Amino acid sequence: MVRYAERAGGDALADGCTHKGNDQPRFELGAAILNPDLPTIAPWRMWDLTSREDCLAYCERHGIPVDSSAATSFPTTRTSRT
């Protein structure tokens, strides 16, 4: 993921972990080891999001298209691959 972000010219990574397990520290530490200059944005930890419904509402307010709904398992953003 870090290498893809670098090749695509990304300036940050996005972390969708819900901070309910050890995924978030593993994700962020691994990314920091591979590229300490590439910050990680962790909405569940940094913003006032406490549920999938909150995330979907945020996406709707900001015009971020998602291939999901409150009834499906994991919201994902639609992005073009380069």
Count of alpha carbons within 13 Å of 18, Cβ hemisphere only? 9
CA distance linking residue 67 with residue 61, whole number of Å: 15
Regarding predicted confidence, which is higher, 68 or 66? 66
Tell me, yes or no, whether 55 and 43 share the same domain: no
**pLDDT value of residue 52:** 80
Q: Residue 40's domain spans which residues? A: 2-47
If asked whether residues 14 and 35 sit together in one domain, one would say: yes
Say yes or no: 24 and 36 in one domain: yes
Percent of the chain predicted with pLDDT > 70 = 79
Whether the pLDDT of residue 82 is over 50: the answer is no
Statement to judge: residues 34 and 7 lie in one domain:
yes
55 and 39 in a common domain: no
| In a shared domain, residues 40 and 74 | no
Same domain assignment for residues 10 and 43? yes
Structure tokens at 21: 């397990």
Question: Alpha helix locations (H) across 1-82?
Answer: 2-8, 23-34, 43-46, 52-61
CA–CA separation, 12 and 6 (whole Å): 9
